Structure 1
Amino acid sequence: MAGELLIDEPLDGVRRLTISNPDKRNALDHGILDGIAEAVRGAGEDGTRAIVLTGAHGMFSSGYDIGDIPEDVFAAEAERLVAHPFTSAIDALDATDVPTVAALPGHTIGGGLELALSCDLRVARDGIKLGMPPAKLGLVYSHTGLRRFLHAIGEPRTRQLFLLGRNIDAREAVTWGLLHEVVGAEDLDGFALDWAAELAANAPLSVRGNKRVLRALLDAEASIDPAVEQELIALRQACFASDDFAEGVRAFGEKRPARWQGR
Structure 2
Amino acid sequence: MPGEVLVDEPADGVVRLTISNPEKRNALDHAILDRLAELLRTLDAPAVVLTGTHGMFSSGYDIGDLSIDSVGAATSDVFAVEAEKLVAHPFAAAIQALEAYPYATVAALSGHTIGGGLELALSCDLRVAHDGILLGMPPAKLGLVYSHTGLRKFLDAIGEPRTRELFLLGRNVDAATALRWGLVNRVVGESELQETALDLAEELAGNAPLSISGNKRVIRELLRARGALDPDVERELLALREACFRSEDLKEGVRAFGEKRPARWRNR
User: Per the shorter chain, which TM-score range?
Assistant: over 0.9
8 Å contact from structure 1 (residues 19, 56) kept in 2: yes
Residue number among 241, 244, 253 corresponding to 2:258 in the alignment: 253
CA distance in structure 2 between the partners assigned to 1:245 and 1:80 by the alignment:
14
Query: What residue is the counterpart of 1:215 in the other structure?
Result: 220
Amino acid at match of 2:38: E
Q: CA deviation at 1:34?
A: 0.8
How far, CA to CA, are the matches of 1:62 and 1:182 in structure 2?
A: 19
Asked if the contact 1:62/1:110 (under 8 Å) is kept, the reply is yes
Within the candidate set 53, 61, 66, 2:50 is matched to: 53
Corresponding pairs, count: 260
1:50, 1:197 within 8 Å by CA — same for their partners in 2?
yes
C-alpha distance in 2, partners of 1:75/1:24?
Answer: 22
The residue type paired with residue 50 of structure 2 is: L
1:197 matched to which residue of 2?
202
Are 1:43 and 1:98, in contact at CA under 8 Å, matched by a contact in 2?
A: no
Any unmatched runs of 5+ in structure 2? none
1:255 deviates by 2.3
Question: What code does the residue aligned with 1:210 have?
Answer: N
Are 1:90 and 1:115, in contact at CA under 8 Å, matched by a contact in 2?
A: yes
Structure-1 residue corresponding to 2:9? 9
CA distance in 1, matches of 2:79, 2:108: 32
Quote how far apart the aligned CAs of 1:223 are: 1.1
Residue 242 of structure 1 pairs with residue 236 of structure 2: no
AA aligned opposite 1:64? Y
SS at structure 2 position matched to 1:68: helix
Equivalent of 2:125 in 120, 123, 126: 120
Cross-structure match for 1:137: 142
> Match of 2:65?
68
For residues 68-107 of structure 1, what are the structure 2 equivalents within 5 Å? 68-69=65-66, 70=69, 71=71, 72=74, 73-107=78-112
Which of 106, 109, 116 aligns to 1:111? It is 116
Shift of 1:216: 1.2
Q: Distance in 1 between matches of 2:142 and 2:18?
A: 27
Equivalent-residue separation in structure 2 for 1:94 and 1:154 (angstroms): 20
Distance 2:132 2:63 in 1: 26
Structure 1 unaligned segments of length 5 or more: list them. none
Match of 1:29 in 2: 29
Query: Aligned partner of 1:41: which letter?
Result: R
Q: TM-score of the superposition, structure 2-length normalised?
A: 0.95
Preserved contact between residue 5 and residue 17 of structure 1 (Cα < 8 Å): yes
- The whole-number CA distance in structure 2 between the counterparts of 1:60 and 1:185 is 13
The letter of the residue matching 1:116 is A
Q: CA deviation at 1:254?
A: 2.3
8 Å CA contact retained: 1:130, 1:169:
yes
Question: CA offsets, 1:229-262, max 9 Å, x none?
Answer: 0110010011111111011112123221110011
Cα RMSD of the aligned pairs, angstroms, is 0.9
Q: Distance in 1 between matches of 2:231 and 2:211?
A: 34
Whole-Å Cα distance in 1 between the matches of residues 83 and 16 of structure 2?
Answer: 28
Distance apart, 1:209 and its partner CA: 1.1
* Contact 1:50–1:99 (8 Å) recurs in 2: yes
* TM-score computed with the length of structure 1 as normaliser: 0.97
Does the 8 A contact of 1:116 with 1:122 survive in 2? yes
Do the aligned residues in 2 keep the contact of 1:67 with 1:250 (CA within 8 Å)?
Answer: no
Runs of 4+ in 1 over 3 A off after TM superposition: none
**Helix, strand or coil for the counterpart of 2:56?**
coil
Aligned partners of 1:103, 1:246: CA distance in 2, in Å? Answer: 33
